Every structure is written in structure tokens, then in C-alpha cells.
Amino acid sequence: MKFELENSVEVKDKIRSFRAAILPIGAVEAHGPHLPLGTDNLLATRLADKLAERTESFVLPPFSYGQVWSLRNFPGSINVSNEALIRLLADIGESLYQQGFRIFILLNGHLGNAVALKEAARMLYERVPELKVFYFFYPGTKEVTAQVREATAAHSTYMHADEIETSYMLYLADEYVDMTKAIDGAPQIPFEADFTPTPWEEMTSSAVLGDATLATREKGEAIIERSLEVMTEIVLRAKKGIMN
């Protein structure tokens, strides 16, 4: 259910019934020639809707800006600091707790936000320890991703506008994908990139870290549905604990 479409007369009882709120968090950044700047927002929002249906949770209005330091110099990218993101998410979480929510799900569509989400969750643990905070970024998908992937991953940790993320989009938001413009990004990632700040223009001119031409809806469905299974199980277990 969309939280922003509720009214203040009826929402109080619904909060007491649902207890869980999902905040889709994305970013505005370059995603190559075949995907829009708001790819991470689309993925987070569509995924949040599916998770909400399975867990009877509210979906909050999305937070559409993220920490995109690595891609900040690409056309269209908008960067916010970790510090700003942490404080804003912590404030939202505390406000949700005061409204009666007891589960706060940070559903992340952009890996660059991971540090800020974890720190915001820790801050909320100190402020309102009764609020259970989860930060999700496609959990439980390592094995299925390895099974469906055709190309060798450009990096052991992150993917971007490549075979995998483009497959996510083909499953969740295919109307925004132009596969006629998909490319094989073939980035040149230096070994030291994992140990020192490295703007991505030093290793790619397209922001595509892999072969997007290999993306399919079926690959995206397999990975996304596995992630939904994992998240659903975690959230429902938490809701059961709160209700007991």
C-alpha cells in the first residue's frame, strides 16, 4: 500500500495493523546509453511494491538521490554526501517509530548507498532500539546470479548497467530499457581501485561495467524473485516477533 495516498483519519489504525514501512532508496546517475538516469529508483520502487504485497507493508514515497561519488562527473549524475543521507534516513526512521511503526525497511537500489544505510541503521539502533531496521540490496542472490550470468563479472562486488542490472530492468521496468542501444562496456578496472578513491571515468567512458547485450528478462526474474523470497522471509519473521 502506498503510504502517501492514505489520509490522516484512517492511517493510524492501518499503521498498527501493518507495523512495517518500506523506503525505496535509489540514485540519479549515468547508466549507459540504454538505461535511464533513474534506473536505481525504478528498481527500488518496483521491488518495494512487490515486497509490500507479500508482507502487508506500507511503501513510503521513494528517496531518489544517493551517494554517487564514483559517477558524479558523468552527465546527469546527482551526488549527495553520506553524511546528509545518514541524517535524513535516521530522522525518517525516528519519525516512523513515533507514528507507530516497528519495522523500517531500507530497500536499496544503489550499491553506493550501502555505507550510509548501515550507519543510519546503527544510529537508529541507538535512538530507538525497539525499531527493527533492515537494509537490503538484493540479498540471497549470489548463487542464482552466478548460475544465469553468461559474461565474466567485471568486478567481484559491484555491477552496473551490465548484463545483470539490465536484466533486473527488463523484468521490473522494461518499458524504460532500449536494448538497441545496449553495449559491452568492457571496463578497465585497475587493481588498486579497491584500495583508493577511483572516479569511474578513469575506467569507463560509458558507465556500463560489462556486457549489457546479454541481458534478458528471464535472468532478471530468476534473481529478483530469489531476492524477494529472502526478504519476505526475513520481514515476516520480524513481524511475527512483534505481534507475539
What pLDDT digit, counting tens, does each position of 55-96 carry?
999 999 999 999 999 999 999 999 999 999 999 999 999 999
Which residues in the chain belong to E strands, given as ranges? 20-25, 58-59, 103-108, 132-136
pLDDT tens across 48-63, in order?
Answer: 999 999 999 999 999 9
Give CA–CA dist 175/193, Å, rounded: 34
Residue 218 · residue 172 · CB < 8 Å = no
How far is residue 96's CA from residue 101's CA, in Å, rounded to a whole number? 5
pLDDT in tens, 161-179: 999 999 999 999 999 999 9
- What rounded mean pLDDT belongs to the chain? 96
Which residues on neighbouring strands pair with residue 78, listed in sequence order?
28
Q: Which one is predicted more confidently, 27 or 157?
A: 27
Over range 118-139, report the average pLDDT.
98
- What is the arithmetic mean of pLDDT over 119-131? 98
CATH number at residue 203: 3.40.50.10310
Read off the pLDDT of each residue in 189-206 and give the average, rounded to a whole number.
93
Q: Which domain holds residue 13?
A: 3-243
CB neighbour list of residue 232: distance below 8 Å, 6 or more residues apart: 51, 54, 55
Region 190-212: what's the mean pLDDT?
94
User: Which residues, in sequence order, are CB contacts of 170 under 8 Å at separation 6+?
Assistant: 177, 179, 215, 216, 217, 219, 220
Q: How many domains does the chain have?
A: 1
pTM of the shown model: 0.96
